[in-house]
Amino acid sequence: MSLRLGDTVPDFTAETTEGPVSFHAWLGNDWGILFSHPKNFTPVCTTELGQVARLKEEFDKRGVKVIGLSVDTVENHPAWVQDIKDATGATLNFPLIADADRTVSGLYDLIHPNASDTATVRSVFVIGPDKKLKLSITYPASTGRNFDEILRVIDSLQLTANHSVATPVNWTSGDDVIIVPSLSDAAAKEKFPEGWKAVKPYLRFVPQPGK
């Protein structure tokens, strides 16, 4: 069964480039990203892993742990890690799961029979501290993932988890946000005493909380 937003993500134990990982325990109380790769030595994924390594400080600032997955053996990972460094200049600084038996891929519904009975699709899962799925995106093999967009989505998810707001189209951190429709004007006055700009009765803009 496919994972749906709000589902508790499956727990698992797996070998990684940084040793054995018990997923829920490894996440602890942090946010997490799990992103999958069809196998080692694939060109698009090589560029992605290098970019995530370069962005690790950005994920750390947001309290987000990152872990990759490849349907290959842990013995095969070091050579790919070296290739990633050679190709991108970045050293892998987060764990990469070895899922040669496809146990994790099965739990997360990553096998795509229309493309291959063995290779995984290229998905991203953003997981909250409550171990529930907050976002999933699946990409075709030919399109590299945009991790700047994933950082933007995490900013939105973390903001909206803590305040009664939603983020509008093309929002980036620091832009105005929308008061959620479930909050009445009376309740909104308590939360946002400085007021808001009402474009429509249901579309009320306020500055981003905390900015």
Q: Which residues are catalytic?
A: 45
How many other β-carbons are positioned within 10 Å of the β-carbon of residue 36? 24
Tell me the C-alpha distance between 147 and 105, whole Å: 21
Q: Where are the beta strands (DSSP E) in the chain?
A: 13-16, 19-22, 31-37, 64-70, 96-98, 122-127, 133-139, 165-166, 177-179, 197-200, 203-206
Neighbour-count burial of 44, counting CB atoms closer than 10 A to its CB (0-12 exposed, 13-18 middle, 19+ buried): middle
Neighbour-count burial of 84, counting CB atoms closer than 10 A to its CB (0-12 exposed, 13-18 middle, 19+ buried): buried
